[in-house]
Structure 1
Amino acid sequence: MHGSPKGVVFAIYYPVIAAIGVPANLAVIVILPRGRCGLSRCITGYLVYMAVTDLLVIITAVILNRIVGIYFPLSFLSLTPVCSLCCVLVYATIDCSVWLTVAFTFDRYVAICCQKLKTKYCTERTVAVVIGTVCALSCVKNTFLYFIYEPLYTVNSKPWFCSIKITFYISPAWVAYDWILIILTPCLPFILILLLNAVTVRYILAASRARRRLRAHSSGENQSDPEMEKRRKSIVLLFCISGSFILLNVLLLRTFICVQIGSVSYFSGSSVNESNIILEESGYMLQFLSSCINPFIYAGTQSKFREELKNGVKYPLRLIVKLFQC
C-alpha cells in the first residue's frame, strides 16, 4: 500500500492538508473574534465556529485517522475501542462542519431576503442556539456508530482495528440508520445550500434592478451606493463559502448515491473493487480540503482580514528583530 502510487499520494496529501489547515483555521479563530474585520457579530460567530469544526475535522479525520493510520498503523489508536471512538468523532465533526455551513447559508438568506424576520433571527443569541443545537445533534446522531464495529484481528486478547459488523448491512434497523446518515449528510445539506443560494440570487437580482431604477430617478446613475457595496461583500463571501462546499463535496455525494441507490459494491466476488474505493477516498480527500479552504476565501474577499493576517505575521518578526537588536 505504502509503495503503490496511490499510497504515496495519500502519504503526501494528508500531511500537507494538516500542515495548511491547522494554522489557517487557528488564524481565523484568533483574528475574527477581535472584531476588526468589519463583519457583523452574527457572521463572525458562524465563521469562527466553522473554523473550529474544520480544525476538529483536520485533527480527528486527517491527523488521528489518516496520518496515524498510514505512518503508525499499530499505535494504540488502532485498538478497536479507541478506533471506534475515533470514527464517531470523525463523523460527528464532519457533520458539525457541514451543518454549520448550512446554518450560515440560511442566516445570510434571512439577512438578505427576509427583512421582517432579520431583526428577530439574525442575533447573537440565535447564533449561539443554532451552533449548540447543531453540535449536540451531530454528536447524538453519530454516537450509535460506536456499536457497528468489531475487531478485525485479536492478538494476545487485544482487539485491533475496526471492521463493520455484517449485521450493519442486513439488519433493517441498521439499514434504516445508514439511510438516515446518508440523507442528513451530505444529501440534504447539498440540496439546502443549492436551494437557498438559488432563492438568494433571484432576490438579489430583483432587488438590485429595483434599487438601480429608484436611484436613477432620485439622484442620478453615477453615484455610489454604500448599501449595495456592503451587501455585495456579504454576498461574495456567502457564495464563495457555499460554492466551494458544493464543488468539493459533489464527488463524495456522487459516490454515496452510486453505493446507496445504484447498488455499486466495493466488492466484486471475493476481491475488492479498488476503483470504487479510490473514488470514495478521493471524495473524502476533497471534503477534507474544504476544511482548509475557508481561511483562504476570507483572505481573498475581506481586505480587513488580510490586513489583520499581515499584522499577525509581522508581529513575531518584529519581536525577533528587537531581540537581535538588543
Structure 2
Amino acid sequence: MHRQELIHPLDFTYYPILAAFGIPVNLLAIVILARGKCGLTKCITCYLVSMAVGDLLVIITDVILYKIVYYYFQNSLFDTTPMCRLVVVLYASSQDCSVWLTVAFTFDRFIAICCQQLKTKYCTEKTAAVVIAVVSTIFCLKCIPWYFAFGPRYVTNNVPWECVLKPIFYTSKAWAAFAWLHRIFTPLLPFGFILLFNVLTVKNILVASKVRRGLLGCNSGENHNDPEIANRKKSIILLFTISGSFILLWTTYVVYFLYVRITNAFYHTSFNDPLFKAQQAGSMLQLLSSCTNTSIYAVTQAKFRNEVKNAMKYLFTHIFKLIKCRNN
C-alpha cells in the first residue's frame, strides 16, 4: 500500500499550516522577548524565551522532520531507520523540555507571589538559567531510550527503512514501565504540578488582596488604585493563560493515552475508528500548544503588542524601500 493511503488527508493540510504559523510566531517571540523591552523582569524573560525556543524545536522536530518530511518526501535520508529513530528522540526531548519549562515558569511565579522570603533568592536570572539548563539536560537524557524502542519497518539492500515500535515494546514489562514513566513525566505530572501551583497562587492572591483592600479602606466603599494589586492581576493573567492553555490543549492527548494503556487498545481499524479520531485530535491539539504562547503574550502584555507593531513596521518599511529601490 502506498504511504499516502495510510495517512489521513487532514494531516496533509494541518501540519504544513501549523509549521508555517508556528515557526515565525515563535521566532518573533524569541526576538522580541530577548530584547528585554516588554516590561518583564529578567527572570520571567529568561523562562519565556526558553519556552519559545522549546516550542520552536517541537515544531521543527515533530511537525517538520517527523511528520511533513515523512508525508511529502519518501525515500529520503530521514526515512532510514537510524535517522528516523534520531528524530523520534529529538522531538520527544524537545516536547519534554517545552512542557517542563512551563512547569518551571509556573513554579517560579508561585514562589514570586506566595513565598516572599524565597523570592529574592530564587526568582533571579541566574537561578532561571540554572533551572533551564538542568531541566533541558535531564529530559534530553531521559528520552535516549526511545532510540532503542524502534526497529526498521523493512530492509532493502541491507538498508533499514522507516521505524516502527518493536514487538517487545508491547510485551516487555521494562518497556511498559518506561512508557508509563514517560507519560507520567509528560504530561501527567506537569498537569498535577501546574494545577497545584495555580490553586495555591490563587488562594494566596485572594487572601492578600482582601487584606490590602481592608487596609486601604476599600471595604468602606472608597476607590483606591493600588499598583500592587494591579501588578498581581497582570502576573496572574499571564500565568493562568499560559498554564490554562497547556492543560486545555493536552487534555485530549492525556485521556487517549490513559484509555489505550488501560484497555490495551493499541491499534485502530480505519480512519473512521473513534480511537483513531481521538489519537489524531489529541496529537493536533498537543502540537497546537507549541504555537499559542505568542498569542497569549500579545493579548495579555501591552508592551509586547507594541514591540510586535514596531517590528512589523520596521519589516514592511524595509520591504517597501527595497521594492522602491528595485523599481528605480
TM-score past 0.5 threshold = yes
Aligned residue in 1 for 2:41: 40
Aligned residue in 2 for 1:287: 286
Aligned residue in 1 for 2:311: 312
- The aligned length equals 322
CA contact (8 A) 2:218 2:224 kept: no
Whole-Å Cα distance in 2 between the matches of residues 21 and 80 of structure 1?
A: 27
Aligned residue in 1 for 2:84: 83
Aligned residue in 2 for 1:50: 51
CA contact (8 A) 1:266 1:276 kept: no
Aligned residue in 2 for 1:231: 232
Deviations 1:241-273 (A, max 9, x none): 00000000000110111122x2241237xx579
Aligned residue in 1 for 2:178: 177
Q: Which amino acid aligns with 1:290?
A: S
Aligned residue in 2 for 1:22: 23
Q: Which amino acid aligns with 1:116?
A: Q
Aligned residue in 2 for 1:190: 191
Whole-Å Cα distance in 2 between the matches of residues 227 and 218 of structure 1?
A: 17
Aligned residue in 2 for 1:263: 263
Aligned residue in 1 for 2:65: 64
SS at match of 2:74: coil
CA contact (8 A) 2:153 2:160 kept: yes
Whole-Å Cα distance in 2 between the matches of residues 25 and 82 of structure 1?
A: 25
Whole-Å Cα distance in 2 between the matches of residues 74 and 7 of structure 1?
A: 20
Whole-Å Cα distance in 2 between the matches of residues 97 and 321 of structure 1?
A: 37
Q: Post-superposition shift, 1:175?
A: 1.9
Deviations 1:16-47 (A, max 9, x none): 11111100000011011111110111110000
Deviations 1:162-183 (A, max 9, x none): 1111122222222221221111
Aligned residue in 2 for 1:94: 95
Deviations 1:35-67 (A, max 9, x none): 111011111000000000000000000011111
CA contact (8 A) 1:29 1:52 kept: yes
Whole-Å Cα distance in 1 between the matches of residues 31 and 275 of structure 2?
A: 40
Deviations 1:184-241 (A, max 9, x none): 1111011111111111111111111111111117997212111111111111000000
1:275 aligns with 2:274: yes
Q: Post-superposition shift, 1:76?
A: 1.3
Aligned residue in 1 for 2:13: 12
Unaligned residue ranges in structure 1 (runs of 5+): none
Whole-Å Cα distance in 2 between the matches of residues 65 and 287 of structure 1?
A: 15
Q: Post-superposition shift, 1:293?
A: 0.3
Unaligned residue ranges in structure 2 (runs of 5+): none
Whole-Å Cα distance in 2 between the matches of residues 65 and 278 of structure 1?
A: 20
Q: Provide closer, same or farther for how the CA distance between residues 219 and 2 of structure 1 changes in structure 2, counting only shifts above 3 A.
A: same
Whole-Å Cα distance in 2 between the matches of residues 168 and 89 of structure 1?
A: 19
Q: Post-superposition shift, 1:138?
A: 0.8
Aligned residue in 1 for 2:209: 208
CA contact (8 A) 1:299 1:305 kept: yes
- TM-score (normalised: structure 1): 0.94
Q: Which amino acid aligns with 2:279?
A: E
Whole-Å Cα distance in 2 between the matches of residues 318 and 275 of structure 1?
A: 50
Whole-Å Cα distance in 2 between the matches of residues 105 and 66 of structure 1?
A: 30
Aligned residue in 2 for 1:106: 107
Q: Which amino acid aligns with 2:60?
A: I
Moved more, 240-249 or 152-161: 152-161
Whole-Å Cα distance in 1 between the matches of residues 312 and 283 of structure 2?
A: 31
Q: Provide closer, same or farther for how the CA distance between residues 164 and 320 of structure 1 changes in structure 2, counting only shifts above 3 A.
A: closer
Aligned residue in 1 for 2:150: 149
Whole-Å Cα distance in 2 between the matches of residues 202 and 108 of structure 1?
A: 14
Whole-Å Cα distance in 1 between the matches of residues 75 and 19 of structure 2?
A: 21
Whole-Å Cα distance in 2 between the matches of residues 91 and 267 of structure 1?
A: 21
CA contact (8 A) 2:89 2:143 kept: yes
C-alpha RMSD of the superposition: 2.0
